[in-house]
Amino acid sequence: NQHLTPYEAIGEETLSQLVDTFYSHVQNHPLLAPIFPDDLTETARKQKQFLTQYLGGPQLYTEEHGHPMLRARHLPFEITPSRANAWISCMQTAMKETGLEGEIGDFLLHRLQLTAHHMVNTIEPEE
Ligand code: HEM
């Protein structure tokens, strides 16, 4: 197992289930739903491509869309610290529901937390 990439350790099927479950939560989250399209089919397809390469699998995202430039691609959206936390919370729930736990789950969650934090581009509005 020590020779597997994280992508191979998780497996394509589990990764695909994870992403679909994740976006079903995003769609129902009051902070996230408003900034996402109503139809998340294409978003989920791109996210599967992205996470595949992020985890050491084939470079599917880059082959179709070019360099991810993830932070730049998120600049059109107001990503506040609360939204980053909400994103991670949806992901954490989806990971549990997909059975992605243990060492590989901890590894993935940690990396996603760093990436989510990096996406923050807007301070919290004062209310
Ligand atoms: C696209 C929000 C974090 C990966 C998007 C889109 C939104 C969004 C609104 C556009 C959806 C669309 O039009 O299809 C957020 C928020 C985050 C976050 C609120 C909270 C921090 C992340 C993280 C990753 C990620 C941590 C990767 C691990 C992507 C990818 C796309 C995307 C790959 C598709 C880019 C493309 O259009 O090619 N995100 N995102 N996002 N996000 Fe995020």
For ligand 1, pick from 31, 112, 119 the residue to mutate: most ligand atoms within 8 Å of CB: 119
For residues 87 and 67, what is the distance between their CA atoms, to the nearest angstrom? 22
Q: How far is the CA of 44 from the centre of ligand 1 (A)?
A: 10
- Residue 24: inside a domain, yes or no? yes
Closest residue CA from atom 8 of ligand 1:
74
In a domain, 1, yes or no: no
121 lines ligand 1 (CB under 6 A): no
If one counts the domains in the chain, the total is: 1
* Three-state SS letters, 77-119: CCCCHHHHHHHHHHHHHHHHHHCCCHHHHHHHHHHHHHHHHHH
Residue 22: CB within 6 Å of ligand 1? no
Is residue 56 included in any domain, yes or no?
yes
pLDDT, tens digit, 9 for 90 and up, residues 1-32: 668 999 999 999 999 999 999 999 999 999 99
Report the distance separating Cα 11 and Cα 4, nearest Å.
10
Whether 74 is in a domain gets the answer yes
pLDDT for residue 124: 85
Quick check: is 124 in a domain? no
Extract the residue ranges of the chain whose pLDDT is less than 70: 1-2, 125-127
Q: Tell me whether residue 35 is in a domain.
A: yes
44 belongs to a structural domain: yes
Domain CATH code at residue 46:
1.10.490.10
Q: What domain range is 81 assigned to? A: 8-119
CB distance 120 to 80 below 8 Å: yes
Q: Is residue 126 part of a domain?
A: no
